[in-house]
Structure 1
Amino acid sequence: MKGHLYKFTLEHLEDPKGNAITAEPVTFEARNHDDIFKILESMKGKMALSDSDAREMAIGIKLFGEVMLRNPENELFQQLRPHFMVFMKGLKKS
């Protein structure tokens, strides 16, 4: 599969009460047809979101969207795809 290859690491730092967590990080690689770093840059100052919220949203959408593209036969994705496409068009216009 062609595309940009990214390595993600997720660390659980603390629980809802602020207690430190010592769980092993989760690391995985994912390919994406888009340059996520360019998208992160373009998200700055959009949609009245903080930079942190914009990064979270952009990365989440890109990871989810790529999985949905790779699995078009999945019934759940088939139901969501038209709505996701409308959302993405609106996001790109903002």
Structure 2
Amino acid sequence: MAGYKYRITVAPIADKHGQPLEMPALSFEVENHDEILGIVTRLQGREDLAFGPEKTASFAIGLKLFSEVMMEYRKHPLFAPLREPFRDFMQLLKKGPGAAG
């Protein structure tokens, strides 16, 4: 599948007690059919989400990474229970403010 290419890096900072984590960062490359950084910017501009810029970025990137794998392996039985609810969720998210009846 041709798409936008990204390098994702997760660098450990601190554990749940605030102590520094001494472990290497995890870095990998992925392709996505969407331009993820533009999606992050658009979602950060939506007042209805109100997650804050960092949580919104985390939400958008996590969602895009997950959904790309789910689309690629859509016939995998693991995703069967999520197909319809996830489709409904994405439609609601794309509709934007006022869509959640």
Regarding TM over 0.5, the answer is yes
Q: Which amino acid aligns with 2:26?
A: V
Unaligned runs of 5+ in 2: 97-101
With normalisation by structure 2, the TM-score equals 0.89
With normalisation by structure 1, the TM-score equals 0.95
Q: Which amino acid aligns with 2:28?
A: F
Distance 1:85 1:6 in 2: 24
The secondary structure found in structure 2 opposite 1:17 is coil
Instruction: Note the 1:12-91 alignment, pairs <5 A.
Output: 12-46=12-46, 47-91=49-93
* Count of residues in correspondence between the two structures: 94
Deviation sequence 1:26-55 (CA, Å, 0-9, x none): 000010000001101101132121011110
The runs of at least 4 consecutive aligned structure 1 residues that moved more than 2 Å come to: none
Distance 1:3 1:78 in 2: 25
Q: Which amino acid aligns with 1:31?
A: E
Distance 1:45 1:17 in 2: 32
Distance 1:79 1:25 in 2: 33
Identity over aligned pairs, percent: 36
Deviation sequence 1:60-88 (CA, Å, 0-9, x none): 00000000001012112122011111001
